[in-house]
């Protein structure tokens, strides 16, 4: 549990830094999208590497759990529900996120 907590603090700090420093607009939440897509890729990658349980807990559950923000994605979707871009944002986030998990996993297996 300590590994997950320490990792989550690091992941949340990184997410905060990116959220503050990535310019966004009302139509496309760039920071959330970038954070979730890179997090999905990294999760697939570290899962494929077959890391020690404690390292995986720190990185996967902790860092990436604190880094990714699918709750913010869903909050943003509520705000975008009136715009046609909302459906595209939802589909691209979930489908591309899933694809990136597989890409990360595949690349991790090649290492």
- The answer to whether the annotation marks 11 as part of a ligand binding site is no
User: Tokens 């690091």 appear where?
Assistant: 10
Contact assessment for residue 37 and residue 100, using Cβ atoms and an 8 Å cutoff: yes
- The answer to whether the annotation marks 68 as part of a ligand binding site is yes
**Ranges of H-type helices in 1-111:** 2-21, 30-48, 53-56, 65-67, 70-80, 85-110
Binding site feature residues for Na(+): 65, 68
Binding site feature residues: 65, 68
């Amino acid at each position: 549990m300590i590994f997950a907590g320490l990792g989550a603090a690091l992941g949340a700090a990184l997410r905060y830094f990116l959220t503050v420093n990535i310019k966004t607009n009302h139509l496309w939440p760039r920071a959330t999208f970038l954070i979730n897509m890179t997090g999905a890729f990294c999760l697939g990658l570290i899962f494929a590497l077959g890391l020690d349980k404690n390292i995986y807990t720190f990185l996967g559950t902790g860092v990436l759990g604190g880094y990714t923000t699918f709750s913010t994605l869903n909050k943003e979707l509520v705000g975008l529900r009136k715009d046609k871009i909302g459906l595209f944002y939802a589909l691209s986030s979930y489908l591309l996120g899933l694809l990136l998990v597989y890409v990360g996993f595949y690349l991790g297996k090649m290492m």
